């Protein structure tokens, strides 16, 4: 009999040893699997991604560990050395969320036990004793759980560490503009004056078409439309050309219209760096807004914005940075996500979008 038991025990041990490596391999494979794969978008941080996918912003360290583990076997995933540095386009591995321990408080023994008045029988006393023991066991089990470690602080980035395109970074910057200077008087419209004007943006002299209605000025000044043009090759752009009918329609209806160049367009100073990959054109428009607010004939509390195509994207970005714009119109705006812009809107033979 003892020999039979010994043989059975040895067989069981052999079976366990046979299964153990398989289980280990399966466990390792499971660790490397991703519940989701995420492409980093402008403005993303590890903590915000962790909050969205794992339900807890301080769980970003799990994303770092999972992504780095995945990167060891799959080069399409990012390798994260510094959690404070996250680049747009990186592919991250989101691990499966862990099962959480229930936090509902365990009922006290007195609440779990039947009342003394309910029964005086031996069976009732036995049941009460069993319930008491079970409750005490539950309390013991709950108390034996390892306390949750103190949460790690959220990733905090200093203002200078935020990407220049992020809304948060742009809201931290200042856009003082300047006084508007009349550079040239043009032939007037039917009921308004036309000028080539200029203002300053980050030290660059930016030219603009400016129209001002004739007639008695309202007590608070004329309402304003800041007009943002779409993509025009900077080398062929001219301040007085394009969108003539649109500007005329607004001007004839009692609006000051400021149709600004962007830097590097026409005779405006600076480099034409493009409307999507840098905040430069949006900065020029934000400075245009500050400048027109200082113009004596303008009502600084009634400023609207109109943008076409690339100018629609500039309009949208401007409106989320400043509260000075009270209404906006975007006509056929290029307002897709940045990955979509880079993938589908980049011009051929051009490494960056216009």
Q: How far apart are the first and last CA of the chain?
A: 87
What residue ranges define each of the domains in the chain, with the CATH number in brackets?
Answer: 24-96 (3.10.350), 177-345 (3.40.50.1820)
Q: What are φ and ψ of residue 301, in 5° steps?
A: -100, 0
| Of the candidate ranges 59-63, 270-274, 293-297, 323-327, the one whose mean pLDDT is the lowest | 59-63
Which range of 90-99, 121-130, 147-156 scores highest in mean pLDDT? It is 90-99
pLDDT category, 354, cuts 50, 70, 90? low
Q: What is the pLDDT of residues 219-251, one digit of tens each?
A: 999 999 999 999 999 999 999 999 999 999 999
Determine the pLDDT at residue 345: 63
Determine the pLDDT at residue 347: 59
Determine the pLDDT at residue 58: 72
Determine the pLDDT at residue 196: 98
Total-model pTM: 0.56
Cβ-defined contacts of 251-254 (< 8 Å, 24+) = 251/189, 251/191, 251/192, 251/194, 251/211, 251/213, 252/189, 252/190, 252/191, 252/192, 254/213, 254/222, 254/223
Q: What is the pLDDT of residues 283-296, one digit of tens each?
A: 999 999 999 999 99
| High-pLDDT (> 70) share of the chain, % | 68
Mean pLDDT for the chain?
Answer: 78
Say how far apart CA 177 and CA 229 lie, in whole Å: 19
């Amino acid at each position: 009999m003892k020999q039979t038991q010994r043989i059975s025990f040895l067989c069981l041990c052999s079976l366990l040893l046979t299964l153990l490596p398989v289980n280990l391999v399966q466990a390792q494979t499971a660790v490397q699997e991703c519940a989701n794969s995420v492409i980093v978008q402008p403005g993303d941080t590890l903590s915000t991604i962790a909050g969205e996918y794992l339900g807890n912003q301080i769980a970003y360290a799990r994303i770092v560990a999972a992504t780095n583990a995945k990167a060891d076997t799959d080069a399409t995933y990012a390798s994260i050395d510094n959690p404070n540095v996250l680049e747009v386009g990186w592919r991250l591995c989101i691990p499966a969320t862990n099962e959480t321990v229930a936090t509902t408080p365990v009922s006290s023994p007195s609440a779990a036990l039947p009342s003394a008045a309910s029964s005086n029988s031996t069976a009732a006393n036995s049941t009460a004793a069993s319930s008491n023991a079970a409750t005490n066991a539950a309390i013991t089990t709950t108390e034996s759980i390892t306390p949750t470690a103190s949460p790690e602080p959220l990733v905090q980035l200093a203002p200078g560490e935020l990407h220049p395109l992020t809304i948060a970074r742009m809201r931290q910057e200042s856009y003082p503009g300047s006084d508007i200077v009349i550079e040239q008087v043009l032939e007037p419209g039917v009921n308004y004056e036309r000028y080539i004007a200029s203002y300053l943006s980050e030290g660059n002299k930016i030219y603009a078409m400016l129209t001002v209605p004739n007639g008695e000025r309202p007590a608070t000044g004329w309402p304003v439309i800041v007009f943002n043009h779409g993509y025009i090759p900077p080398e062929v752009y001219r301040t007085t050309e394009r969108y003539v009918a649109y500007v005329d329609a607004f001007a004839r209806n009692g609006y000051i219209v400021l149709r600004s160049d962007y830097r590097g367009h026409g005779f405006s100073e600076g480099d034409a760096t493009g409307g999507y990959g840098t905040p430069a054109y949006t900065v020029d428009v934000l400075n245009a807004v500050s400048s027109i607010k200082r113009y004596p004939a303008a009502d600084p509390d009634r400023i609207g914005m109109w943008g076409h195509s690339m100018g629609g994207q500039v309009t949208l970005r401007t409106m989320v940075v400043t509260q000075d714009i009270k209404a906006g119109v975007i006509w056929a705006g290029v307002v897709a996500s940045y990955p979509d812009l880079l993938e589908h809107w980049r011009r051929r033979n051009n490494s960056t979008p216009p």
